[in-house]
Amino acid sequence: MSTLRARSTPTKQPSIKDKEATPIPTANGGEPAADAPKAAIQRQPSMARSLTSTAANLANLLPTGTLLAFQLLTPIFTNNGACDAATRPMTLVLLVLLAFSCFLASFTDSVKVSDGQVYYGLTTFKGLWLFDYPDASGAGLPDLSKFRIRLIDGIHAVLSVLVFGAVALRDRNVLQCLYPQPGREIQEVLNIVPVGVGLICSLLFMVFPTRRHGIGYPVTSGK
């Protein structure tokens, strides 16, 4: 007697509809697992925005003219962060000149005369030397000897330079120009030191306030 051979059952190939209906693996029953790392990536811009806002608050302590020159000239001198052997020294010279401008602005003051006109001048050890007062005799001016240089002016000058350095090191173009590929330790220093210096200088500005309203600073109504 011959034996019967068992017929093999054909396997069903998945159709296109079955492939489309196959669910994509998800993480925790929510979005696809491939999108999970995006949450960690999105946390980084929030930290960058907080540091940018810190730099913007520090910029309020600087003279408006110096800050405007920094914002306008930095992208040009740094070539939008792509510095070479020629633009890098020019960028350093620009930063030194702007820092000196912040230092010098701390030794300037203004005086308002009876007609409401405001005149600016440079403080000296004897008083205030006005730049553009029309009367050389000084008629109509208050006592300028009370505007002489004090110790607080030197403190504010040093703090202004430090604040400018903190603001400059938070600028993207300056960082990419001076430190195009910083190491891990240098990057940590660039992230921490400017913010710490700016915070300490802000506290010292509140502890040692000044009544001067020099070039680049607003003049109050009672000045």
Listed by start position, the domains of the chain span: 48-107+151-207, 109-148
pLDDT reported for residue 21 = 47
3-state SS class at 206? helix
**Range from 65-69, 99-103, 113-117, 123-127 that averages highest in pLDDT:** 99-103
Query: What pTM was computed for the model?
Result: 0.68
DSSP 132-200: S-S-TT-TT---GGGG---HHHHHHHHHHHHHHHHHHTT-HHHHHHH-SS--HHHHHHHHHHHHHHHHH
Lowest mean pLDDT among 9-23, 92-106, 134-148: 9-23
Round the average pLDDT of the chain to a whole number and report it: 76
pLDDT at residue 33 tops 60? no
Strand runs labelled E in 15-153? 108-112, 118-123, 128-130
**Cβ atoms of 113 and 141 closer than 8 Å:** yes
Non-local (6+) Cβ contacts of 128 within 8 A are 109, 111, 121, 122, 144, 147, 148
Question: Element (H or E) spanning 207, and its range?
Answer: helix 184-207
